[in-house]
Amino acid sequence: MIGAILLAAGSGRRFGGDKLLAPLPNGTPVAVAAAATLVTALPRVVAVVRPGAETLTEALRGCGAEVIVCPRADDGMGTSLAWGVAAARDWNGWVVGLGDMPWVATATVCAVTAAVAAGASLSTPRYQGRRGHPVCFGRSYRDSLLVLTGDRGGRSIVEAAGDRVCHVDCDDPGVLTDIDLKADIERFAFRAGTRLADARVK
């Protein structure tokens, strides 16, 4: 089985508050929107949160995600990812989603998952030539994921994979668009439920 790990343990310092609970224009909290997409696409979603995130935990469980607490979340994204994979080490693959990227399309999640299910060891979405998120890691990367530390997440693994990465081209600017600042919520919000008003390429 391939499932998803949602990284939702960040502190949101640049945002000036808990950005994962900040409402999108439709009222849905940022991290809940990100989780709901994964829940729609995959059989299991494990969300990793920081200690004390009771409100976020309740909201994520309400949309169908399982939630675990990473006691060392302040160490960085890599530590949180390793914690999540350890809780789902029996899976055959892990789609790694970010809690502050609420505009990824369900079809994109399905596409990167299908690539690994079909034999790719690692797949990423690509929009207009730029690699984005979420990334799907096959089972061969389990041990590498389990020993991650610090704040780079799985980026070092993707970069080291080189030609082994399967790039899945998609028409989805949401794979490049995360929320760092409060202004980003309005700036990058989808218009009429279709495309981003002003997609930023990161």
Q: What is the pLDDT along the chain (202 residues), one digit of tens a residue?
A: 999 999 999 876 666 678 999 999 889 999 999 999 999 999 999 999 999 999 999 999 999 999 999 999 999 999 999 999 999 999 999 999 999 999 999 999 999 999 999 999 999 999 999 999 999 999 999 999 999 998 878 999 999 999 999 999 999 999 999 998 777 787 776 433 434 433 333 3
Residue 164 lies in a domain: yes
CB 122 within 8 A of CB 158: yes
CB 99 within 8 A of CB 34: yes
For residue 56, the enclosing domain spans 2-188
Residue 193 lies in a domain: no
* φ, ψ for residue 73, nearest 5 deg: -60, -30
Q: What torsion do the CA atoms of 191, 193, 195, 201 make, to the nearest 10 degrees?
A: 90
What tokens were used for 197?
A: 């008003």
Residue 179 lies in a domain: yes
When divided into structural domains, the chain yields a total of: 1
List Cα–Cα distances, 13 to 82, 125, 181, in angstroms. Answer: 22, 27, 9
Residue 195 lies in a domain: no
CB 67 within 8 A of CB 57: yes
Residue 126 lies in a domain: yes
What's the CATH code of the domain at 50?
Answer: 3.90.550.10
Amino acid sitting at position 137: F
> Could you tell me the pTM of the whole model?
0.91
Residue 199 lies in a domain: no
